[in-house]
Amino acid sequence: MDLIANLLLGLSVSLSPDNLLLCFGGALIGTLIGVLPGLGPTATVAMLLPLTFHLPPVGALIMLAGIFYGSQYGGSATAILVNLPGESSSVVTCLDGHAMARQGRAGVALATAALASLFAGIVTTILIAVAGPPLAGVALAFGPAEYVSLMLLGLIGAVTLAHGSVVKAIAMILLGLLLSMVGTDVNSGDTRFTFGLPQLYDGIDFVPLAMGLFGLAEIIASLEQTGGAGRTTAPIASLWPKREDIRQAWPATVRGTVMGALLGILPGGGATLGSFAAYSLEKKLARRPERFGQGAIEGVAAPEAANNAASQACFIPMLSLGIPPNAIMALMIGAMTIHGITPGPQIMAKQPELFWGMIASMLIGNVILVILNLPMIGLWVRLLRVPYGYLFPAILVFCCIGTYTLNNSAFNVLLMAMFGVLGYVLRKLDCEPAPLMLGFVLGPLLEENLGRALLLSGGDPTVFATRPISGSLLATAALLLILMVMPSVRRRRDEAFKDE
């Protein structure tokens, strides 16, 4: 009864005209920003943070939250339509979402992404309301050693994202880790792999790497294969999922929601790791894994559900413990501090209107997102009818603008071009870029927690095996790797990826 009373309190706060307008504005801004290549939710929240200083505390946080999970969904539109991931968590959506678009099923892919995100958002919001503080305790049980083991498990699991050679997939992960090490070492202050270029002292940004490996490489390959005409998409058959599509997508949506909610409470790349893990799980469970990468609807539903679930689950440690699991939650804590609010275990008792108002606003925000985006599916799909001779220069312009405005640096545009060529070469070598991207995103977190774990253990490497959770994760990772390299498993895996 207390839960129902609290939810009713939250709904009364979030449904007030002012807060409802702020929630709508945040979701709309987040979606529009997510569609633009290059400008992610972290930069958007940081830029718009000063606007919330003059708003009431509850309204400010509701608007910032709407921007956050709105931008997570917006990134899926460009990932599906033009193979450009707006955020690292949208990378996996490119694999099957863009393949569906080329088959004339872009509307189905966009609708599936919207409905999977809605389901995940509603379930995760209820989860936060029911089990927020206990789940936050799960995050406290994870120390540096556990994070290292979890990330190693995620990286080894990413091998399932690539077809063909296991060795090539592992090589892509290692290349991603190597690229993530470019810049200044946080411990020693020494520069690494910068070749004396000051522009690389802060490392390589995600945006030029993603735009190059996915966007530019797709354009180059398309122009080469079609003699400059560009790939033609199949006629649009339907804008909405059919009964068979729903039957295939809903179990994947449920599993993706669970995966994203569990990983979202952990510091670091919760949404990214969640979407990769959800995709890997679906491919493992599929009767016909060869469908993945060729337009499998489960390859859209699972990562999109995991993405949205993780985006909202990260509010659990932020609200319950005052621990920011990622950069955006750190900005949210900054906004709360400016308004004189101290996040932590006492916030539910001392400021129930704030806590439950935010929880209820997530339910409303997810409904607003669907109301905003479902009617726009037809508009988005019409982009695919634009002749490729007009479309690809526009994509290039948007990529260059988005990459340049990241740091107002022309060097980032040059990096994007270089990674575009690299992505094209990797395609020729039959190497998948998705494992590379996961290695790049998790690399800094892996290095940081590895150093911290060894420092706390006095340099004893056995700490990763002797701690129960860490040891279990490492054992799972080792078992998964052994299964992948066993001749019988490898043979079945190769056969599954042969072109039909």
488 band by pLDDT with thresholds 50, 70 and 90 = very low
Q: How far apart are CA 201 and CA 263, in angstroms?
A: 31
Its sign, for the CA torsion 7, 11, 12, 18, is positive
User: What is the model's pTM?
Assistant: 0.72
Q: How far is 170 from 487, CA to CA, in rounded Å?
A: 17
Strand-pairing partners, residue 191, are 184
> What residues contact residue 86 under an 8 Å CB cut-off, 6+ apart?
34, 35, 36, 37, 38, 40, 71, 74, 75, 76, 77, 78, 79
Radius of gyration of the chain (CA): 22
b/e per residue, 150-163, with b = 16+ CB within 10 A?
A: bbbbbbbbbbbbbb
pLDDT digits (tens, 9 = 90+) for 293-333: 888 899 899 999 998 888 888 887 777 766 666 667 777 77
**Three-class DSSP category at 217:** helix
What percentage of residues in the chain have a pLDDT greater than 70?
Answer: 81
Per-residue pLDDT band at 487 (split at 50, 70, 90): low
Type of residue numbered 197: L
Top mean-pLDDT range of 367-376, 466-475, 486-495: 466-475
Render pLDDT for 38-62 as a digit per residue (tens, 0 to 9): 556 766 676 677 777 788 888 888 8
pLDDT score for 51: 73
Q: What are phi and psi of 369, to 5 degrees?
A: -60, -45
Output the pLDDT for position 496: 45
Those residues with Cβ within 8 angstroms of residue 494's Cβ, 6 or more apart along the chain or in another chain: 164
pLDDT category of residue 28 using cuts at 50, 70 and 90? confident
Residue 193 phi/psi, 5° resolution?
55, 35
> Distances in Å between the alpha carbon of 16 and those of 9, 21, 67, 364, 434?
11, 9, 19, 12, 43
Residue 452 tokens read as 């911290």
439-468 residue pLDDT tens: 887 788 788 888 888 888 888 888 888 888
Rounded to 5°, angle at Cα 66 from 65 and 69: 85
The residue length of the chain stands at 500
Nearest-CA neighbor of 69 among 53, 49, 89?
A: 89
- Report pLDDT digits (tens) over 237-266: 566 788 888 888 999 999 999 988 888 776
Quick check: 489 pLDDT over 60?
A: no
Residue 418's pLDDT is 92
How many Cα atoms sit within 13 Å of 250 on the Cβ side?
6
Half-sphere exposure (Cβ direction) of 275: Cα atoms closer than 13 Å: 34
pLDDT of residue 336: 79
Q: Which of 8-12, 22-26, 388-392, 463-467 has the lowest mean pLDDT?
A: 388-392
Q: What percent of the chain has pLDDT above 90?
A: 5
Alpha-carbon distance of 361 to 365, in angstroms, equals 6
pLDDT given at position 99: 86
CA 296 to chain centre: 19
- What angle is formed at CA 222 by the lines to CA 216 and CA 225, rounded to 5 degrees? 140
Start-end of H helices in 189-341: 206-210, 217-225, 243-264, 270-285, 298-313, 315-321, 327-338
If phi over 0 gives left and psi between -120 and 50 gives alpha, with beta otherwise, what is residue 162?
Answer: beta
Averaged pLDDT, 221-234: 63
CB 133 within 8 A of CB 318: no
- Which H or E run includes 380? helix 377-382
Task: Please provide the distance, in angstroms rounded to a whole number, between the alpha carbons at the two ends of the chain.
Answer: 56
* 175 and 439 Cβ atoms separated by less than 8 Å: yes
Determine the average pLDDT of the residues in 184-197. 80
Residue 456's nearest CA partner among 64, 148, 6 is 148
In sequence order, what DSSP letters do the residues of 402-419 get, joined into one string?
HHHHHHT-HHHHHHHHHH
296 contacts 92 by C-beta, under 8 angstroms: no
Mean pLDDT of the chain: 79
**Tens digit of pLDDT for each residue in 400-444?**
887 787 778 888 889 989 998 998 898 888 887 878 877 887 788
Is there a contact between 149 and 412 (Cβ–Cβ < 8 Å)?
no
- Give me the sign of the Cα torsion angle 62, 63, 65, 71: positive
Cα 214 to Cα 57, 95, 437, 495: the distances in Å are: 40, 10, 10, 26
Give mean pLDDT, residues 135-146.
72
